[in-house]
């Protein structure tokens, strides 16, 4: 089954490459997205027997979660991108389409691979396949962003590779056969050499953290998100980061199995809270609302890491937050993309009164903001609140306090920017050929918002089970 998930997007990519017409080609995206979503749901919920292809390729609970998240987000983004590319017909979209499909395949490989070496390869592949997407606009700035993303990303990934090797090597001192296969590692986790294992943990945290965009390795993020089209931002903030987080979850899983809880907790809490406050400081008085979203993504990666650091009672919330964050980020980036197109600027000095000019996108942007900052009854509220509950019931009062404080800082910063975007009187001068809300670019966002709200109101039982399984995988109690 794993091969299907990896290969059929590649086939679609090939097809897309061959299609000559700029108008027809984008339709390969929703086709692949729909098929992928269908396959994911089918495999995850109905075919438990397909979950294990071989020792290297299998789908465990965290994998299932991320697979569903990525596939859902990709589906809506693909719908959106049809409408989006319709607006950008002057620009060729062959690379765009192919790279998106390649990413889909590689993401599939990431979630399926149960072998850390293989997973590393897949992650690096996602990096490479997404790089050209940032360069879609083909101007100097996007070029610069792509360059930084590529180099910093590759460096980070290289560090992750070193970490992977460390991990493999940590078996040697106690005379075991070096391996990178998850099950074997989990089996011999308690016997791993502490020094090497901890070093590996840190290297992988920094390496995959670069890909997730934890401070201080986040530096590529605002540039990439700011210059890439909104839909790519959504794919990044919802999809790529989730894959990287999954990759990091593996080592966390191992550390839990190895009983390294005390050591990891300190480091994770530090890194997570650090990312949150750094993001907050950059968000305060941020005039560029796409960079703002990038920093918000940094913040939420921090929240995820904090959740892992708290461990035990907070794991459920963390797992849930992977989903809620991705969906909400999708809403935010897509609506922000619309606003950007309508005003031909992403600076709050020019952008006012979005609600009056783009009723749907404006309101969706505002709603997404409220959701991401944890207002009930949206999804992120549930996840963030249960992370907080975990912190308190885990007795980590200082963490909880800082967590709330940083959430507040972020809220203040985001609030100022978002409100000045959506409120007020829209500038008089209409941009020639300025974008107006249309079905194809609003409907997917609307549905995503619906999903976000749904996750806040009712979490379907199957998803609930997956979350619980994932918590168990990570060494928590269901």
Partner 1 sequence: MTELLNAILVVILVLNLFTLGTSRIQSAIRMVAVQGALLALIPILIREKFSLTSVIASVVAVLLKGIVIPLIMNRSLRSARIKREETPLIGLLPTVIIGAVITGLILIFSKMVNVPGGQTTTLIVPASFSTILVGFLLLITRYKAISQVLGYLVMENGIFIFGMLLVEAVPLIVEMGVLLDLFVGIFVISIITNHINRAFSSLDTRRLDSLKEE
Partner 2 sequence: MPIQLVLFGAVLLALSGLPALFSRRRSSWGQVVSTVIVLAGSSTGIVGIALHFFSRYLSAPLFFPWPAVGNSVVGLDSLSAFFLFPVFVMSGAGSLYGTAYWPQKEKGGSARRLQMFWGLMAAGMVVLLLGKHAMAFLLGWEVMALSGFFLITADDTREETRKAGLIYFIATHISTLILFALFTVWRLATGSFSFLPVSPGSISLGLINALFLLAFIGFGIKAGLMPLHFWLPGAHANAPSHVSAMLSGVMLKMGVFGFLRVLTLMPVMPAMWGWMTLAFGAVSGLLGVIFAIGQHDLKRLLAYHSVENIGIIYMGIGLAMLGRAFGHPEWTALGLAGALLHVWNHGFFKSLLFFGAGSVQHASGTRQIDRLGGLGRAMPWTAAFFLIGSIAICGLPPLNGFISELLIYAGFFHSLTAGTSGGTAAAFTAPVLAMIGALATACFVKVCGTVFLGLPRGESAARAHESPARMLLPMGFLVLLCLVIGVAPYSVVPILEQTVAAWAFPSGLPSPAGFLPLRTFGWISLAVAVVSVFITGLAVFLGRKSPRRGTWDCGYAKPEASMQYTASSFGSSILYLFHHLVPSRLQKSDLSQVFPAPAAMRSHIDDPVLDQWIRGFFRRLRSLSTWFRRFQQGMMQYYILYIVVALFVLLCTLIPFRELLESLFHHS
- Where along the sequence are the contacts to partner 1 (CB under 8 A)? 115, 117-118, 120-121, 124-125, 128, 131-132, 135, 140-141, 143-148, 150-151, 154-155, 158, 161-162, 165-166, 168-169, 171-173, 177-180, 193, 195-196, 222-223, 226-227, 282, 291
* Smallest distance, partner 2 to C-beta of residue 273, A: 14
Q: State yes or no: residue 326 binds partner 2 (CB under 8 A).
A: no
Instruction: Name the binder of 143 from partner 1, partner 2, none, CB < 5-8 A by kind.
Output: partner 1
Q: Which is nearer to partner 1, 284 or 405 (CB)?
A: 284
Which residues within the stretch 284-323 sit at the binding site for partner 2 (CB under 8 A)? 284-285
* Smallest distance, partner 2 to C-beta of residue 321, A: 13
Which residues within the stretch 330-349 sit at the binding site for partner 2 (CB under 8 A)? none
Q: Which residues of 149-187 are buried (b: 16+ CB within 10 A; e: fewer)?
A: bbebbeebbebbbbbbbbbbbbbeeeebeebbbbebbbe
Q: Which residue has the tokens 């396949």?
A: 129
Of 73, 122, 206, 334, which lies in the binding site for partner 2, with binding defined by CB under 8 A? Answer: 206
Which residues within the stretch 388-407 sit at the binding site for partner 2 (CB under 8 A)? 388-389, 391-393, 400-401, 404, 407
Q: State yes or no: residue 376 binds partner 2 (CB under 8 A).
A: yes
Alpha-carbon distance of 142 to 133, in angstroms, equals: 10
Of 24, 38, 431, 458, which lies in the binding site for partner 2, with binding defined by CB under 8 A? Answer: 458
* Smallest distance, partner 2 to C-beta of residue 148, A: 5
Instruction: Name the binder of 141 from partner 2, partner 1, none, CB < 5-8 A by kind.
Output: partner 1
Q: State yes or no: residue 190 binds partner 2 (CB under 8 A).
A: no
155-174 mask for partner 2 (x: CB under 8 A)? Answer: xx--x---------------
Binding span for partner 2 by CB under 8 A among 40-48, 93-101, 192-200, 229-237:
192-200
Alpha-carbon distance of 26 to 80, in angstroms, equals: 10
Instruction: Name the binder of 146 from partner 2, partner 1, none, CB < 5-8 A by kind.
Output: partner 1
* Smallest distance, partner 1 to C-beta of residue 164, A: 9
| Residues in binding contact with partner 2, number by CB under 8 A | 64
Instruction: Name the binder of 198 from partner 1, partner 2, none, CB < 5-8 A by kind.
Output: partner 2
* Smallest distance, partner 2 to C-beta of residue 404, A: 5
CA-CA-CA-CA dihedral for 26, 28, 32, 33, to nearest 10: 20
- The C-alpha angle with vertex 137 and arms to 134 and 143, in degrees rounded to 5, equals 60
Alpha-carbon distance of 172 to 157, in angstroms, equals: 23
Q: State yes or no: residue 385 binds partner 2 (CB under 8 A).
A: yes
* Smallest distance, partner 2 to C-beta of residue 206, A: 5
Q: State yes or no: residue 42 binds partner 2 (CB under 8 A).
A: no
Instruction: Name the binder of 237 from partner 1, partner 2, none, CB < 5-8 A by kind.
Output: none
418-447 mask for partner 2 (x: CB under 8 A)? Answer: -xx--xxx----------------------
Q: State yes or no: residue 203 binds partner 2 (CB under 8 A).
A: yes
Q: Which residue has the tokens 């997917």?
A: 444
Q: Which residues of 387-408 are buried (b: 16+ CB within 10 A; e: fewer)?
A: bbbbbbebebeebbebbeebbe
Q: Which residue has the tokens 């692949």?
A: 32
Instruction: Name the binder of 284 from partner 1, partner 2, none, CB < 5-8 A by kind.
Output: partner 2
* Smallest distance, partner 2 to C-beta of residue 94, A: 29
Alpha-carbon distance of 203 to 391, in angstroms, equals: 26
| Sequence-distant (≥ 6) Cβ neighbours of residue 262 within 8 angstroms | none
Kindly report the number of other CB atoms within 10 A of residue 409's CB atom.
18
Q: Which residue has the tokens 């966390």?
A: 252
Rounded to 5 degrees, φ, ψ at 19 are -60, 125
Contact positions vs partner 2 (CB under 8 A): 147-148, 151-152, 155-156, 159, 195, 198-199, 202-203, 205-206, 210, 216-217, 219-220, 222, 266-267, 278, 281-282, 284-285, 356, 370, 373, 375-377, 379, 382, 385-386, 388-389, 391-393, 400-401, 404, 407-409, 411-413, 415-416, 419-420, 423-425, 455-459, 464
């Amino acid at each position: 089954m794993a091969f299907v998930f990896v290969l059929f997007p590649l086939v679609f990519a090939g097809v897309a490459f061959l299609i000559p017409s700029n108008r027809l080609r984008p339709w390969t995206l929703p086709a692949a997205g729909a098929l992928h979503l269908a396959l994911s749901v089918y495999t995850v919920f109905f075919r438990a027997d397909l979950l294990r292809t071989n020792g290297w390729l299998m789908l465990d609970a965290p994998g299932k979660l991320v697979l569903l998240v990525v596939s859902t987000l990709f589906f809506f983004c693909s719908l959106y991108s049809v409408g989006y590319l319709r607006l950008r017909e002057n620009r060729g979209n062959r690379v765009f389409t192919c790279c998106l499909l390649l990413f889909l395949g590689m993401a599939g490989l990431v979630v399926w691979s149960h072998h850390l070496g293989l997973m590393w390869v897949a992650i690096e592949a996602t990096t490479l396949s997404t790089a050209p997407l940032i360069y879609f606009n083909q101007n100097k700035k996007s070029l610069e962003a792509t360059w930084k993303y590529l180099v910093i990303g590759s460096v980070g990934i290289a560090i992750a590779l070193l970490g992977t090797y460390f991990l493999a090597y940590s078996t040697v001192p106690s005379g075991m056969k070096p391996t990178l296969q998850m099950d074997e590692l989990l089996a011999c986790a308690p016997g791993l050499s502490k020094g090497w294992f901890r070093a590996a943990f840190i290297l992988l945290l920094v390496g995959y953290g670069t890909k997730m965009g934890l401070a201080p390795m986040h530096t590529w993020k605002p540039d990439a998100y700011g210059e890439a089209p909104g839909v790519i931002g959504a794919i990044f903030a919802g999809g790529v980061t989730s894959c990287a987080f999954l990759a990091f979850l593996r080592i966390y899983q191992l550390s839990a199995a190895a009983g390294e809880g005390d050591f990891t907790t300190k480091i994770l809490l530090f890194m997570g809270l650090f990312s949150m406050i750094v993001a907050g400081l950059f968000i305060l008085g941020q005039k560029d609302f796409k960079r703002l979203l990038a920093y918000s993504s940094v913040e939420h990666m921090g929240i995820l890491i904090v959740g892992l650091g708290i461990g035990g009672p907070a794991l459920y919330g963390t797992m849930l937050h992977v989903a809620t964050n991705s969906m909400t980020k999708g809403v935010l980036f897509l609506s922000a993309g619309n606003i950007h197109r309508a005003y031909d600027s992403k600076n709050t000095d020019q952008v006012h009164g979005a609600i009056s000019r783009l009723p749907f996108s404006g309101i969706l942007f505002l709603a997404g903001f409220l959701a991401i900052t944890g207002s009930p009854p949206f999804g992120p509220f549930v996840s963030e609140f249960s992370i907080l509950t975990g912190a308190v019931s885990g007795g980590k009062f200082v963490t909880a306090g800082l967590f709330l404080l940083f959430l507040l800082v972020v809220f203040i910063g985001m609030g100022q920017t978002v409100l000045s975007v959506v409120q007020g009187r829209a500038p008089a001068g209409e941009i020639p050929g300025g974008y107006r809300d249309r079905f194809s670019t609003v409907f997917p966002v609307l549905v995503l918002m619906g999903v976000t709200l749904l996750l806040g109101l009712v979490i379907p039982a199957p998803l609930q089970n997956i979350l619980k399984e994932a918590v168990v995988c990570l060494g928590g109690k269901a």
